[in-house]
Structure 1
Amino acid sequence: MKEIPGGVCAPKGFRAGGIWCGIKASSRKRDLALIYSEKPCTASAMFTTNKVKAASVLVSREHVSGGVLRAVIANSGNANACTGEAGIAAAKKMAELAADLFAINPKEVAVASTGVIGVPLPVAAIESGIESLGNSLKADEAGHAAALEAIMTTDTRRKDGAFETDIDSKTVRIGGMVKGSGMIHPNMATMLCFITTDVSITREMLDKALKMAVKRSFNRLTVDGDTSTNDTVLVMASGEAGNAAINSEGPAFTLFAGLLQSLCVKLTRAMARDGEGATKLVTVKVTGAASEDDAEMLSKAVAGSSLVKAACFGADANWGRVLCAMGYSGAEFDPSAVDVRFASRAGEVLVCSSGSSIPFSEETAKNVLSEEEIEIVIKAGTGKGDAAAWGCDLTYDYVKINGDYRS
């Protein structure tokens, strides 16, 4: 497996683009994106677990249920959530407008939105820009970059990636983009994530691979404890790579599932690093738990603790907050068997052994925790369960950003 450029345009058969159409009057950034496949794609998706679901989620869930998609159209600046029947009509209109560009069935188009909740979506702006959006499509890095910019809101950096590997002596590629900076918490993390691949795979096996990847990536990410109304992760597989169709578990499926998971973890880390107001990426690694599920609960509780996040911001080696979060995680473990280390490129320091305090250098610990990427490494016992979760520090700027989000 190697990393390649191109994002969603790296796999064969895909074009992407993005434009400004004026959805949010106070901004001139691109706000409307489109990803299109030359051929029908096997499609799979997962959506928010929030009971309050945006219109785009409801419409896309219906459209992807058929297992075949050709395109996804997405906007930023307006979430089209809590907008009633008018919101549903707007989401369906978006799909129809995109479908008309290519003379395809609107049900072959997924829809996604992100932005302010509770404000009617200005469909007229999308309609006026749809022809320009179609003309913006490119099968290269420029097309990918334009689409990615168009789905960003409070994001401060690009979050994308692409990989390739060989399956059945055929080169298979996968690429993706994601937006997400705040209102992020399992299950799933708040995001719009679009993934393309040219692998040939059945719907059943694509569903299986996506669920595995999401469980070990996006569902282990937290920024602020809020799960959105709009979360969407969507995969389209064109089959253009020419490999024998993956229709069961085996070596080919294992290779593809690993490829998808690697991409999702890369995107997850990028979202954690770009958490609203964040200055640090925090990775929590747990080993020795009774099971993988217990390790996951422990790592997510620590990564999601406001007190742990605040300590990371202040480079304060307050390991007691780590054990406290473990204690309310719901996981089975023996507190007297816990070891905790803080690590970064500045080194590492053991701060807790067998659940108790030990002498350590506060200066060394502060240096370790002052880096932009830090790890909290926990040995929970002698079991075989391990897992990682990702988050960020909690800063003054988080409140500042979210205090005036609507303006």
Structure 2
Amino acid sequence: MSQVYDNFGVPQGFQAAGTYSGLCSSRVKLDVAMIVSRRDCSIVTDTAQGMTARSGKILVLHNGTALPEGMRGLEISKEVCQAVSTCVGEAPDSVALVANGVKGQYFRPSLLIHSLNNLTAGLDTDTQPLEAVLDNYGDVSSQTVSLGGDCGSLQGIAADGTDDSAGLCVIMTDAVVDGTMIEKALIQVKADMDTEHFTFIVMANGGAGAQPVGHDAFAGGIEALLVKLGFQHALKACS
């Protein structure tokens, strides 16, 4: 049975598209997405290799095959980001690449690069939803949480993982928060939630306006969003 996706719709100030690159083993699965912010945004990624924060406008997400570890993975990331830069006319350091999936498989960056024209052409359409790229043939859910007042909202998509691949959770927000606050909020929330074996991506573009959100409110919003997405609070050891 095919997955029926909700009409998620990305938050104002973001665009997203998905397509098939052929990099993963499935010949029917959409496996690569591009998320573009119309303005500079904070991009925080939390993977098995650790948490990183950067500023940029574009995230390319491949779901199916993990990047090789070490120098080869860095070379591939640089090559893909440079190609994206040329395709969309943004600086290479405005582009981030996340590759989630099976480890130890041969990674052909040329296939990812050849899919860029399809990705950019699809940014103004809803024909290939972001949920379809995250889908690992399990449950996929999308939810929205308001941060209250004029502070904006959080919109997220979560998809279960498999025995070979981590689950995925992508959060986009128009709240005025920087990478440091996102990192601290993720660390705090993950300490209380069962998020093991999940890759997290958070993008914040500040499009809600000049009203910043405090740390407690932002962390509380992420926790509420994860609960709505189906994450469970971690069990506490009995004393």
Q: TM-score, normalised by structure 1?
A: 0.51
Indicate the residue corresponding to 2:168 in structure 1: 192
The within-5 A match list for 1:305-320 is none
The 8 Å contact of residues 144 and 155 in structure 2, kept in 1 or not, is answered as yes
Is 2:149 aligned against 1:162?
no
Q: CA deviation at 1:126?
A: 1.2
Q: 2:68 aligns with which of 71, 81, 85?
A: 81
Q: Distance in 1 between matches of 2:18 and 2:230?
A: 23
Code of the aligned partner of 1:196: M
Q: Distance in 2 between matches of 1:201 and 1:93?
A: 30
Q: Distance in 2 between matches of 1:284 and 1:46?
A: 19
Q: 5+ residue gaps in structure 2?
A: 1-5
Is 2:83 aligned against 1:116?
no
Q: 5+ residue gaps in structure 1?
A: 247-251, 270-282, 287-294, 299-331, 334-407
Q: Decide whether aligned partners of structure 1 residues 162 and 206 sit closer, same or farther in structure 2, where only a CA change above 3 A counts.
A: same
Indicate the residue corresponding to 1:37 in structure 2: 37
The 8 Å contact of residues 41 and 68 in structure 1, kept in 2 or not, is answered as yes
Secondary structure of the 1:81 match is coil
Higher percent of residues as helix: 1
The 8 Å contact of residues 163 and 174 in structure 1, kept in 2 or not, is answered as yes
Q: Distance in 2 between matches of 1:129 and 1:206?
A: 30
Is 2:147 aligned against 1:147?
no
Q: CA deviation at 1:156?
A: 2.3
The CA deviation string for residues 237-290 of structure 1, in whole angstroms up to 9 with x for no partner, is: 1111114234xxxxx443332211111233343xxxxxxxxxxxxx6886xxxx
Q: CA deviation at 1:163?
A: 2.1
Identity percentage of aligned residues: 21
Aligned pair count reads: 234
Q: Decide whether aligned partners of structure 1 residues 69 and 31 sit closer, same or farther in structure 2, where only a CA change above 3 A counts.
A: same
Q: Decide whether aligned partners of structure 1 residues 69 and 180 sit closer, same or farther in structure 2, where only a CA change above 3 A counts.
A: farther
Higher percent of residues as strand: 2
Q: CA deviation at 1:72?
A: 1.1
Q: Distance in 2 between matches of 1:98 and 1:267?
A: 31
Q: 2:116 aligns with which of 116, 130, 143?
A: 130
Code of the aligned partner of 1:173: S
Which structure would you say has the larger RCO, counting Cα contacts within 8 Å and 6 or more residues apart?
2
Q: 1:207 aligns with which of 183, 186, 191?
A: 183
Q: Distance in 1 between matches of 2:122 and 2:89?
A: 17
Code of the aligned partner of 2:148: D
The CA deviation string for residues 12-31 of structure 1, in whole angstroms up to 9 with x for no partner, is: 20000100121135422211
Q: Distance in 2 between matches of 1:259 and 1:109?
A: 26
Q: CA deviation at 1:136?
A: 1.0
Radius of gyration: which is bigger?
1
Q: 2:57 aligns with which of 44, 49, 70?
A: 70
Q: CA deviation at 1:150?
A: 1.6
The 8 Å contact of residues 7 and 162 in structure 1, kept in 2 or not, is answered as no
Q: RMSD of the TM alignment (CA)?
A: 2.9
Q: Decide whether aligned partners of structure 1 residues 253 and 7 sit closer, same or farther in structure 2, where only a CA change above 3 A counts.
A: farther
Q: Decide whether aligned partners of structure 1 residues 26 and 211 sit closer, same or farther in structure 2, where only a CA change above 3 A counts.
A: closer
Indicate the residue corresponding to 2:218 in structure 1: 256
